[in-house]
Every structure is written in structure tokens, then in C-alpha cells.
């Protein structure tokens, strides 16, 4: 009987969630937002030199196809007809830069990942060209000039990779962030693939004017980027094209959001002042500021939150970005070998229940918000003979929470209205010790939805609500109530403050480690 009941679920929506460390495809019921099935594949990261982080765009694309096929098989086993899937949304790691050949469909170089630091000297050279009294880059884009964003990665590729230069000269090159590469490939690639991106991803390239919502000629000239290689910018919710291969051939791709915007939508933060924090490879706290751009005085970014339809208004957000969150757990696993799986860290931390005065600043890629200090490097300090791997594991979790606290403090100062609680999502939120620590260190409740896949849910919402699909209602009364788990602070405020101020001392010690490009990390 149950099987027969499952077969009549009504319209379903799929979501590709292409993150830094893995790719997933998830399928949701558009009426209840229930997750029906999913499949996940880990993605390799390559570190060809110190500070360089690359991925293979073809491996990323292949992983998307694999996740779609496997999820469809799983739905079949559940007796769910895949023809009920009415649309597909895409959410992606942002800023990661791909240049490919539009005639062969081949990438011209590996994807340069958002965490990559090779562009430090490119950034320094560009800095010298910004007029002292007029930072037009920041005022147009909402972003500080940093290795983090796509324009400087693209500039590096144009300067250093002959295949890219040649393809641009011969009018064969296309540039995109991961969403563009996927949508172009999934909608046919060399056979009529759609070269587009959405406003949220475009707003992370540093080439996009967040006020006019267009590629900006002055910015493109400043970075020396030919405008003809850029994708068309569309809203986050409209039909871009149809799937041209695989189990879901003919299905519209109708939602596209950078992962952090997708999580904001998936957490239903549609009101001015609502905020969420996503714990993934990095940590990203976004606060919806409504129809107005709020420029930060405290090191946060101003970015496009979403635009859910061609004729719908644009919403903006303030964002605090932490480069290393889940990545520190992966580092403890892969580089130090003190855990065999990411889940083990909770067990180690639980054993001691304290870092015993050990503090960890995981500034592997410099410090992002609120410092924007590329010279910082990771440090572990406060070590004694008593310190063991359990204390280091605990300190690593604490570091994620302290970094979030710094961003929350900055956001409270910029917005003037302190958050009463923090909505959280992402892979790391399954770690109960981390969630409790976060509540203790922020000294406000931390609220986690029972279904933590809010990034994928946001992409599904955008796809299902698109004009021409219309299976997902965005009316407040129709947005299904999600059950939440609350973590209340359990320590006294004074203890929380002492731990936080000691950690800030450690942050100061992490700065200024890299003074000039060392030869082994230099550019070829």
C-alpha cells in the first residue's frame, strides 16, 4: 500500500548542488519540501603548489551526471516515477573560475578554485592602479579587491596560460563560474549550449555592477577582460534551457543561485534582517538587507542575495566570509591523519570537552572577513605537554565558532539590530558539539532545520517557482513550516568573552607571516 501511495507524489523538483568538496543531486517534493532521495560524489582538489587550489571541470561535470543517474535509480527503487520531476535548479561553489573552448567543449585549464592564492601579486599590481580617493571597484561591486573573486583569477589565466590567450584571440573562449560551465554543458555544450549565469554568481566576479545589474565596461577595462567571453546574466529563477542528455533529458533548468544565496532562499530568509550561516568548506553568514545595498564599515561584503524571476525585484545581502571551516576538518583528516573520517572529530572533541587553552587559527588561505589579510597563515598556539589530538580537535571546532562570532559582531554593528538567534545549515551542522559551542560563543540560540540541505532546497525553490514551471509557491502561507532544533547557550557570558578575547590574541599572531612571494609559491 505504501508503495502505491508513494507513486502519486505530485510535482517534484531536482537540484544540483555543486560544492567545493562534493557534488550532489537531490529531489524534493514541491508541495512539502520533503527530500525524497539524493546521491553524493566527493570531488578531488588539486594543490599543484603552495597556495594553489584547482579542480578538473570535466570531473565536476561527470560527477553531476553520475549524481543525477544514481538519484534517478534510487527514485525508481522507491517506486517514484522520474517523469514527475518538472524542473532542475543549480547551486554552485562561487568565484571558482573556468575558461573553455566553445568549439571543442574542452576546458583550457583546470578550474581555479575560490580559495586559491596565486593571484596575490596580480591583486597588488591592480591595487596600485585604483585612484586613491575613488575605489570605484568597491562602490560598483560591493567587494574588496582580493584573490577571492573571479576577475583576478581570470586575469591570471589570461596572463599565464597560452592556451587561454590563444582561444581569446581566436574568439573561441568562454568564461564562467561553475554554474555557467554546468548549464552550458547540460544544455548541449558545443551543440547550442546556453552560456549564462545568474545575478548572484555574476555579483561575485568583480566585473558586475550590482546597482545596474549588468557587466560593467569600466570594470572589464580595469581588469583587461574582453566582454565577449562573459556569459549572459539572467535572474535566479527562469527557464535557461533544457537538459540535452541523461535520465532527465528534456527537463528545464530553471533555477540558478550561488550556494550561499541558495541557502538564504532555502532557509526562507525573505525578510529584511533575516540571516543564516552555512557551515561548509568555508563559513558564510548572509543577512538579507532587502532592496537596498548596505555598504559595510566593518569588512563585510555587499552582494546580490537573489532575484526570483525576470520581472521580480532584486534583493541584496551583507555577507561575512570565512575561508576555512569544514576544510580544517578535512585537513586534520588528510594532512595530519589524526582522524580517519570527518565524523570522528566530534568523538575526539567530546572526550575532553575543552581545548585546554589550545587555540587554532586556520588561516590557510589568509584571513577573509572582517580582516581581509592575505599575509596571515594558520597557527596552533597555547600548546603544553598535556595537549593531545583531542584538544586540537576541540580547538579546530572552536575556531569555526570564533570566526563566525567575529562576523556576527561586524554584522550587528553594520545593521544596528543585533540578531536574536542564528539560523544555521550545511554539512557541519550535524556535529552537535559544534552547534552547542556556537551557541555558547555567540551567546544567542542557534537554530537548525531538521532537513539541513537548505542550499539544494533553495535551488529547487528557485527552479520550481520559475515562470513556465510554476510548481512551487513562494506565498508565505504556502512555505511549509520546517521543524527546528534549538541550541541554547549553556555557559556564562563572562567565560564566553574570555575565550573569545584569547582567540583574538591568537589571530593577531597569525598575521604578517608571508611578506613577499616565496619562490616555491611564485607564479611561473
Most confident of 140-154, 201-215, 373-387, 487-501: 201-215
367-382 burial by CB neighbour count: b if 16+ within 10 A, else e?
Answer: bbbbbbebbbbbbbbb
| Nearest Cα residue to 523 out of 85, 122, 77 | 122
Distance CA 478, CA 498 (A): 45
Which has the minimum average pLDDT: 88-92, 352-356, 388-392? 352-356
Lookup: cell for 480: 511549509
Whether 520 has a pLDDT exceeding 50, the answer reads no
Lookup: cell for 330: 578535512
Which runs of consecutive H residues, i.e. helices, occur in 416-492? 432-442, 454-464
Distance CA 95, CA 206 (A): 9
Asked whether 16 and 88 are in contact (CB, 8 A), the reply is yes
pLDDT digits (tens, 9 = 90+) for 228-279: 999 999 999 999 999 998 899 999 999 999 999 999 999 888 888 888 998 8
Query: 3-class DSSP state for residue 487?
Result: strand
Q: Which residue has the higher pLDDT, 303 or 322?
A: 303
pTM for this entry: 0.86
373-377 mean pLDDT: 87
Whether 516 has a pLDDT exceeding 70, the answer reads no
Distance CA 49, CA 53 (A): 8
Alpha-carbon distances of 65 from 99, 176, 193, 488, rounded to whole Å: 20, 19, 16, 41
pLDDT digits (tens, 9 = 90+) for 35-77: 999 999 999 999 999 889 999 999 999 999 999 999 999 999 9
Query: 3-class DSSP state for residue 30?
Result: coil
Lookup: cell for 198: 545568474
Q: What is the pLDDT of residue 74?
A: 95
| Cα–chain center distance at 380 | 26
DSSP string, 179-219: HHHHHHHHTTTTTT---EEEHHHHTTTTSEETTTTEE-HHH
Amino acid at each position: 500500500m505504501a508503495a502505491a501511495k508513494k507513486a502519486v507524489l505530485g510535482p517534484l523538483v531536482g537540484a544540483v548542488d555543486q560544492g567545493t568538496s562534493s557534488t550532489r543531486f537531490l529531489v524534493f517534493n514541491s508541495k512539502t519540501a520533503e527530500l525524497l532521495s539524493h546521491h553524493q560524489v566527493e570531488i578531488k582538489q588539486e594543490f599543484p603548489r603552495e597556495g594553489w587550489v584547482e579542480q578538473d571541470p570535466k570531473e565536476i561535470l561527470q560527477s553531476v551526471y553520475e549524481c543525477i543517474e544514481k538519484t534517478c535509480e534510487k527514485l525508481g527503487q522507491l517506486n517514484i516515477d522520474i517523469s514527475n520531476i518538472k524542473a532542475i535548479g543549480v547551486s554552485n561553489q562561487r568565484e571558482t573560475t573556468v575558461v573553455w573552448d566553445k568549439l571543442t567543449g574542452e576546458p583550457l585549464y583546470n578550474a581555479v578554485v575560490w580559495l586559491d592564492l596565486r593571484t596575490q601579486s596580480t591583486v597588488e599590481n591592480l591595487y596600485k592602479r585604483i585612484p586613491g580617493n575613488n575605489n570605484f571597484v568597491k562602490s560598483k561591486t560591493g567587494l574588496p579587491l582580493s584573490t577571492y573573486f573571479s576577475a583576478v583569477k581570470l586575469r591570471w589565466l589570461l596572463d599565464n596560460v597560452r592556451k587561454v590567450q590563444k582561444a581569446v584571440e581566436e574568439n573561441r573562449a568562454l568564461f564562467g563560474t561553475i554554474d555557467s560551465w554546468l548549464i552550458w554543458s547540460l544544455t548541449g555544450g558545443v551543440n547550442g549550449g546556453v552560456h549564462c549565469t545568474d545575478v548572484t554568481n555574476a555579483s561575485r566576479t568583480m566585473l558586475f555592477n550590482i546597482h545596474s545589474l549588468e557587466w560593467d565596461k569600466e570594470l572589464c577595462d580595469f581588469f583587461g577582460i574582453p566582454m565577449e567571453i562573459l556569459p549572459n546574466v539572467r535572474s535566479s529563477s527562469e527557464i535557461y534551457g533544457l537538459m540535452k542528455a541523461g535520465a532527465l533529458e528534456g527537463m528545464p533548468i530553471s533555477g540558478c543561485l550561488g550556494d550561499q544565496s541558495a541557502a538564504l532562499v532555502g532557509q526562507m530568509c525573505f525578510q529584511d534582517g533575516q540571516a543564516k550561516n552555512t557551515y561548509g568548506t568555508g563559513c558564510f553568514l548572509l543577512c538579507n538587507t532587502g532592496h537596498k545595498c548596505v555598504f559595510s564599515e566593518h569588512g563585510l561584503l555587499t552582494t546580490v542575495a537573489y532575484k526570483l524571476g525576470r520581472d521580480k525585484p532584486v534583493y541584496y545581502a551583507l555577507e561575512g566570509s570565512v575561508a576555512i571551516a569544514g576544510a580544517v576538518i578535512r585537513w586534520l583528516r588528510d594532512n595530519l591523519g589524526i582522524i580517519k573520517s570527518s565524523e570522528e572529530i566530534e568523538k575526539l572533541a567530546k572526550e575532553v570537552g575543552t581545548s585546554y587553552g589550545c587555540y587554532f587559527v586556520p588561516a590557510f588561505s589568509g584571513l577573509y572577513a572582517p580582516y581581509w589579510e592575505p599575509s596571515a597563515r594558520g597557527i596552533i598556539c597555547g600548546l603544553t605537554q598535556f595537549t593531545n589530538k583531542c584538544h586540537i580537535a576541540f580547538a579546530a571546532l572552536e575556531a569555526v565558532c570564533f570566526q563566525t562570532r567575529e562576523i556576527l559582531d561586524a554584522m550587528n554593528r553594520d545593521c544596528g539590530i543585533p540578531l536574536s538567534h542564528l539560523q544555521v545549515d550545511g554539512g557541519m551542522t550535524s556535529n552537535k558539539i559544534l552547534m552547542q559551542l556556537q551557541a555558547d560563543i555567540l551567546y544567542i540560540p542557534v537554530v537548525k532545520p531538521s532537513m539541513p540541505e537548505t542550499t539544494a532546497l533553495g535551488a529547487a525553490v528557485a527552479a520550481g517557482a520559475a515562470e513556465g514551471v510554476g510548481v512551487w509557491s513562494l506565498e508565505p502561507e504556502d512555505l511549509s513550516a520546517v521543524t527546528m532544533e534549538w541550541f541554547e547557550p549553556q555557559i556564562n557570558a563572562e567565560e564566553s568573552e574570555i575565550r573569545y578575547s584569547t582567540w583574538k590574541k591568537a589571530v593577531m599572531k597569525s598575521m604578517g607571516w608571508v611578506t613577499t612571494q616565496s619562490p616555491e609559491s611564485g607564479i611561473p
